[in-house]
């Protein structure tokens, strides 16, 4: 491989990128728009759950329980209803997700030390959100009941009620439990994979469509030099996109950065090389830009979004799908990003993921070079 020819190839491709001002602006603006849109729109937080109350007891104790729900950030009490038909209508019209039904004997049972039941009626259309809402409501009601029973025992001089277990929760790495701290690092991997694959998936196909590939092949430049030269040109653009994504994540979304910026940049560059070479491989396999674009979108966006652990936990997927996820580099890069941002770990922990990213980049580069040789032949 000749360094001079490779540098000339990279310069030629870089000049072509700079001349196409509209595409250049789009390539730099698209990551910013995507990370802002996904960062604000995609949230896993479950709060402000719309709820209504059917209070059949109408006592100070039942009103105090309702005030606990009103004071919680997890619930949004829309008002009171006068019966089960009204609850059914509101759930059918998607006006509320939760109905809190307090029975007539609620306060009497609770003050006498008997079981005081509260009914929660949930809209199970969204099973995940409904399960979380049920957990929030159950814990709130049980905590309130324990407080009331303890106060009543103290009033009677019985010494109060002491829970047999004092559970204390300690959350590491994301103490505020904000989903954006979990989503944004994975979003950086998603944006980089899509942009890198789509940028290079058109480059060789465009040469064939414009008829300039024949002129390029008439020069002494070799297939490995074509692949490496094109990759280096788009690598510069990919670095700019990577910096934009990281700055937006840290400065705008306030994602904690506990690891090393140097390690982050190194691993991002390794991932970027693999993604760019994948786009070149697709472009070399397809003769038209339309086919290359479709292949690039299909092989970058869907796996990066669904099979990387970005949103959906890989451990909860069926075993065959878990096996498939090992063939996509975004899985390893998402794990690396979350380790760097949230846990502050380095190569001593993430050496396996970094090694697999290096192997992926090398294999894809060799595959793209081989495909170019076949095209030339």
Tens digits of per-residue pLDDT, 280-289?
888 878 777 7
Task: Give me the pLDDT at residue 375, please.
Answer: 62
**pLDDT tens-place string over residues 216-264:** 666 777 777 778 888 888 888 888 888 888 888 888 888 888 889 999 9
Q: Tell me: the pLDDT tens digits for 188-215?
A: 888 888 888 877 877 777 777 776 766 6
Please state whether beta strands 75-80 and 49-55 pair in parallel, antiparallel, or not at all (unpaired).
Answer: parallel
pLDDT at 352: 92
pLDDT at 332 over 90: yes
Domains and CATH numbers, the chain: 3-43+178-376 (no CATH), 49-155 (3.40.1710.10)
* pLDDT tens-digit series, residues 31-74: 888 888 888 877 777 788 899 999 888 888 888 888 989 888 88
Confidence of residue 165 (pLDDT cuts 50, 70, 90): low
Instruction: Say how far apart CA 275 and CA 199 lie, in whole Å.
Output: 10
CA separation (Å) from 38 to 180, 184, 308?
10, 8, 16
Q: Which residue has the higher pLDDT, 1 or 84?
A: 84
Chain centre to alpha carbon of residue 151: 45
Residue 120: the pLDDT is 92
Cα separation of 324 and 306, whole Å? 11
pTM of whole model > 0.85? no
State the pLDDT at residue 115.
76
CA 234 – CA 228 distance, rounded (Å): 10
Give the model's confidence band at 166: pLDDT under 50 very low, under 70 low, under 90 confident, else very high.
low
Count other Cβ atoms within 10 Å, centred on residue 105.
14
């Amino acid at each position: 491989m000749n360094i001079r020819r490779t540098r000339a190839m990279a310069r030629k491709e870089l000049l072509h990128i700079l001349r196409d001002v509209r595409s250049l602006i789009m390539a730099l603006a698209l990551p910013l728009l995507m990370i802002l849109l996904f960062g604000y729109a995609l949230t896993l937080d479950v709060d402000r759950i719309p709820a209504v109350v059917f209070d059949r007891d109408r006592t100070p104790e039942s009103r105090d329980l309702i005030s606990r729900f009103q004071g919680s950030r997890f619930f949004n009490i829309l008002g009171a209803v006068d019966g089960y038909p009204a609850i059914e209508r509101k759930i059918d019209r998607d006006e509320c997700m939760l109905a809190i039904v307090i029975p007539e004997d609620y306060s009497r049972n609770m003050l006498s030390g008997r079981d005081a039941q509260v009914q929660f009626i949930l809209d199970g259309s969204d099973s995940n959100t409904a399960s979380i809402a049920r957990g929030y409501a159950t814990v709130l009601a049980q905590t309130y009941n324990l407080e009331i029973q303890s106060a009543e025992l103290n009033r009677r001089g019985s010494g109060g009620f002491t829970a047999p277990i004092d559970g204390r929760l300690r959350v590491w790495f994301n103490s505020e439990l904000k989903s954006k701290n979990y989503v944004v690092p994975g979003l950086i991997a998603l944006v980089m994979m899509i942009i890198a694959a789509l940028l290079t998936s058109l480059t060789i196909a465009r040469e064939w469509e414009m008829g300039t590939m024949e002129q390029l092949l008439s020069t002494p430049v070799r297939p490995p030099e074509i692949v490496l030269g094109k990759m280096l040109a788009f690598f510069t653009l990919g670095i700019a996109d990577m910096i934009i994504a990281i700055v937006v994540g840290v400065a705008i979304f306030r994602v904690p950065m506990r690891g090393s910026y140097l390690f982050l940049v190194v691993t991002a560059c390794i991932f970027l090389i693999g993604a760019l070479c994948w786009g070149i491989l697709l472009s070399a396999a397809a003769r038209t830009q339309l086919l290359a674009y479709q292949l690039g979108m299909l092989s970058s966006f869907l796996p990066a979004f669904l099979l990387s652990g970005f949103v959906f936990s890989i451990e909860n997927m069926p075993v065959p799908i878990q096996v498939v996820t090992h063939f996509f580099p975004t899985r390893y890069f998402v794990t690396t990003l979350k380790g760097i941002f949230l846990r502050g770990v380095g190569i001593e922990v993430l050496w396996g993921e970094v090694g697999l990213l290096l192997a992926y980049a090398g294999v894809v580069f060799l595959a793209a070079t081989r495909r170019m040789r076949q095209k030339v032949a």
